Amino acid sequence: MYWIQILLYLLYTYLSLGLIFGLWFVFKGAEQIDKNMHGASWQTRLLLLPASTALWLTLLNKYLKHQRHGS
């Protein structure tokens, strides 16, 4: 039963970090990767928050690659 607690804590940590990243990403970072996000309403950005939270590692990797290449 102890390993289930560890897995739950890891899941909570992943989702907590994802929520922090997701909030930043949908309101600031997405515009730097996708120019079509410029001028998007806060409601549209809020719809992207769950996916940004769940896929934060992938989006962080894409953001960092974009920053490195300057495209």
Q: What is the pLDDT along the chain (71 residues), one digit of tens a residue?
A: 799 999 999 999 999 999 999 999 999 999 988 889 998 999 999 999 999 999 999 999 999 999 998 76
The closest of 52, 50, 55, 44 to 25, measured between CA atoms, is 52
Domain ranges of the chain: 2-33+41-69
Q: What is the pTM of this model?
A: 0.84
The closest of 21, 27, 32 to 60, measured between CA atoms, is 21
Length of the chain: 71
Whole-angstrom distance between the N-terminal and C-terminal Cα of the chain? 48
DSSP 8-state secondary structure symbol assigned to residue 35: G
